[in-house]
Structure 1
Amino acid sequence: MMSLRGWLLGLLVTTAAFAASVNAQPKAAIKERDGFFYLSPGYTKADVADFYWRSLDGWSEHPAEMAKYYAQDGVYELTYAPVRDFPNAGFKRANKGRQEMTDYFTNFSKQMGHLKYSDPKTWTLLETTEKGTYVFEYTSDGVIRSSGKPYHQTFIAILRMAKDGQIQSVREYWDPYVALRDFGLIKKAQ
């Protein structure tokens, strides 16, 4: 027969193990509301990276899905897009609002296919001193639809979350040379 002390010790250990398992669960979760996605309060930078990855991954096949992670007045900037020198290439520096994002990525999906982003667990994740602002470094691989050639790009993004748990803005940096070369807009010098 177990002593009261042994029983209490067992109860304490069981309670501590249960509390540890509950605390090991992710603090934040992605919630869907009216067809849009939100992060619940208490999210971490890893949660934000996963949320952002979900908005990006597969946009070349389902471009309308991306905007569902952004605030209605959200902004997606492609800071190094070579708009001035290549005005007919389809690049755009800033997309403001869900509809503009959807239009841009729908148009660009005609050029880029099977785009997959690296697993967010492999990303470099930095939280800035500005609350709700994150910096991520990651890669993607896809296929240029017109040539069937592979496309690989490295990115750095500065992301700002809205108070409601959606993405307020992303400023994405990538190598325009890689895009211009791979899309056949410039030729490599011999």
Structure 2
Amino acid sequence: MTATAREVVEQVLAAGLAQDTETFVELFAADGYVEWPYLPAGIPARVEGREQLREFMTAQAKGLVKFEEYRNTVIHETTDPEVVIVEYEAHGTVIPTGAPLHQTIIAVLRIRAGLVVSYRDYLNPLVLAEALAAAGGAGSATAGR
């Protein structure tokens, strides 16, 4: 039986937090994508397809931010059975500086046949810009996985 859209979102969040690249990638359709509409310059706004997702996730494991916990997670199922909205707070560390990082996120995911076809991650770009500035602008990262 195919997982519900809500179950897929729960699995995506768990895999992202655990930095479980293979599980994360396998939850996406072959042409599925993650995009971040509001990011500072120099950070990719969209990663598309399983191979790009795999490369991106692997790089992120050594990147700018490591999240240790998601808090206050609320999953909203919509009248469209493919669309789920999730709100959560991501708490972690800026790797180069050791500084704590707190990011509030709202994401809109479209799930079809048990796979993510789109994941729009609306994170606070100011938090990410501050982390990049504190780390000297080095590295590529998103603060919303």
Which bracket does the TM-score occupy, shorter chain normalised?
0.7 to 0.9
- What TM-score comes out, normalization by structure 1 length? 0.63
TM-score, with normalisation over the residues of structure 2? Answer: 0.80
Alignment CA distance shift 1:44-1:73 (3 Å):
closer
Per the alignment, residue 37 of structure 2 pairs with: 79
Q: Which of the pair is proportionally richer in strand?
A: 2
How many Å apart are 1:44 and its aligned residue?
6.2
The change in CA–CA distance for 1:44 and 1:123 in structure 2 (over 3 A counts) is: same
Runs of at least 4 residues off by over 6 Å: none
What whole-Å deviation, never above 9, does each CA across 1:38-77 have from its counterpart, x for those lacking one? Answer: xx436363x2442222231122xx4444212111111111
If asked which structure has higher relative contact order (CA below 8 Å, sep 6+), I would say: 2
| Superposed CA offset, 1:84-120 (max 9, x none) | xxx2xxx21111001111222222332235423426x
Gaps of 5+ in 1: 1-39
Higher-Rg member (1/2): 1
Distance 1:108 1:48, change over 3 A: closer
Alignment partners' CA distance in 2, 1:131 and 1:116: 30
Q: Is the CA contact 2:65–2:94 (under 8 Å) kept in the aligned structure 1? A: yes
Superposition RMSD in Å: 2.4
Alpha-carbon distance change, 66 to 43 in structure 1, aligned in 2, over 3 angstroms: closer
Report the count of equivalent residues: 136
Percent identity of paired positions between Structure 1 and Structure 2: 24
**1:43: which partner in 2?**
4
Whichever residue aligns with residue 101 of structure 1, its letter is: L
User: Structure 2: where are the runs of 5+ without partners?
Assistant: 136-145
